[in-house]
Homo-oligomer: A and B are copies of this chain.
Amino acid sequence: MAASDRSLTNPLDDLLGYQIRRVSSALMADLARGLGELGLTPSEASVLLLIDANPGTTQSEVGRVLAIQRANMAPLIARLDTRGLVRRERVDGRSYGLVTSDDGAALCRAAKAAMEAHDARLQGQLSVRARACLVEALNALRREGADS
């Protein structure tokens, strides 16, 4: 109607990386919606799951595993602590051991259920073959790709 057609030429459509980015951000938005109902962001949920599965771990360790920098872990953990979901227990003089509280463990179970439901929906959109192949491709990219 104006100066351009209704469907634009998109030079990005040929780029595999762009397709991955688009799928990833759509997935993240959906996951954030689900976790938002529990009062958690995706980052908070992953940290909570990791602490719950590894009681006594430190925030540096968690950050290394999840590729979240130390400086960004501090406020994140403080938030979970303030909300009574996580306790920090001095183990070292310079580091804390992290454990989930009862509330934190309960919320963690709910978050894990939400994340697994989300992932089941995702996997349900793929054929068995496509799913296996996607896993293989992602593993290859994680090995070669960035360390992070």
Instruction: Give A residues with C-beta under 8 Å from B.
Output: 2-4, 8-12, 15-31, 46, 49-50, 53-54, 56-58, 61-62, 65-67, 91-92, 95, 97, 112, 115-116, 118-119, 122-123, 125-127, 129-131, 133-142, 144-146, 148
A26-B146, A148-B29 known; A56 vs B11 contact (CB < 8 Å): no
How many copies of this chain? Answer: 2
* Contact between B2 and A91, CB atoms less than 8 A apart: yes
Of the candidates B16, B127, B134, B142, the one whose C-beta lies within 8 Å of that of A16 is B134
Separation in Å of the A134 CB from the closest CB of chain B? 4
Contacts of A129 on B, CB cut-off 8 Å? 133
Contacts of A62 on B, CB cut-off 8 Å? 8
* Contact between A46 and B12, CB atoms less than 8 A apart: yes
Q: Which residue of B lies closest to A8 (CB)?
A: B54
Q: Which residue of B lies closest to A19 (CB)?
A: B138
Chain B CB within 10 A, most for which of A97, A126, A130, A141: A141
